[in-house]
């Protein structure tokens, strides 16, 4: 195969989500998880709250922001308790065996003590038609999406 063809195939694979493994945490271009929202606030305050750049923590290759030191310290003690499921990717998308970004301000839900994010409210309505079934499908798909 000619070098040009190899370069073309390599370049196309960068744009084909099925050809690459997902990062374990969905981040912005600057490496910030869940678009800078405080993951602890959903549980403690019952609503999304933007984190601050002076209250951060590195976990699983991402920068997590928090509204205050108490939230940061709670996350540091038990990050799995507060981090969104499926690395903060859209729960509906993962249930359909692909990944998508999320709207952590408007499309979120806590189910059985776990935080789930969706692409937007419209997609969340689809996800909510069968929450247990969609969670089960997403849990089965998630390891495969990380290994692609």
How far, in Å, CA of 85 to CA of 79, rounded? 11
Q: What is the DSSP letter of 67?
A: S
Instruction: Please answer whether residues 148 and 19 qualify as being in contact, where contact means their C-beta atoms are separated by less than 8 angstroms.
Output: yes
How do residues 41-97 score in pLDDT, each as one tens digit?
A: 999 999 999 999 999 999 999 999 999 999 999 999 999 999 999 999 999 999 999
Q: How confident is the model at residue 20 (pLDDT cuts 50, 70, 90)?
A: low
Nearest to 72 by CA among 45, 27, 41, 116: 41
| 63: three-class secondary structure by DSSP | strand
pTM for this prediction: 0.85
How far, in Å, CA of 92 to CA of 99, rounded? 9
Structure confidence at residue 134 (pLDDT): 98
Q: Is 89 exposed, middle or buried (0-12, 13-18, 19+ CB in 10 A)?
A: buried
Q: What is the mean pLDDT of the chain?
A: 90
Nearest to 84 by CA among 34, 146, 29: 34
Q: How confident is the model at residue 17 (pLDDT cuts 50, 70, 90)?
A: very low
Query: Measured between alpha carbons, how far is residue 29 from residues 3, 107, 115, 131 in Å?
Result: 30, 21, 22, 30
Tell me the average pLDDT across 18-39.
Answer: 88
User: In percent, how much of the chain has pLDDT > 90?
Assistant: 83
Structure confidence at residue 21 (pLDDT): 67
Can you give the residue ranges of every domain in the chain?
A: 21-147
| Ramachandran quadrant class, 103 (left: phi over 0; alpha: psi -120 to 50; beta: rest) | beta
Q: How confident is the model at residue 7 (pLDDT cuts 50, 70, 90)?
A: very low
Q: What are phi and psi of 120, to 5 degrees?
A: -160, 180
Structure confidence at residue 19 (pLDDT): 44
């Amino acid at each position: 195969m000619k070098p040009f063809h190899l370069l073309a195939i390599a370049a196309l694979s960068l744009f084909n989500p099925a050809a690459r493994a997902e990062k374990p945490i969905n981040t912005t271009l600057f490496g910030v998880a869940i678009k800078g929202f405080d993951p602890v606030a959903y549980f403690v305050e019952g609503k999304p709250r933007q984190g601050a750049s002076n209250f951060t923590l590195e976990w699983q290759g991402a920068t997590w922001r928090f509204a205050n030191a108490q939230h940061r310290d709670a996350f540091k003690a038990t990050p799995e308790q507060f981090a969104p499921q499926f690395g903060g990717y859209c729960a509906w998308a993962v249930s359909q065996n692909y990944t998508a970004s999320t709207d952590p301000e408007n499309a979120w839900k806590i189910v059985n003590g776990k935080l789930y994010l969706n692409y937007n409210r419209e997609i969340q309505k689809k996800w909510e038609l069968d929450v247990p079934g969609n969670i089960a499908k997403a849990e089965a798909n998630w390891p495969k999406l990380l290994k692609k």
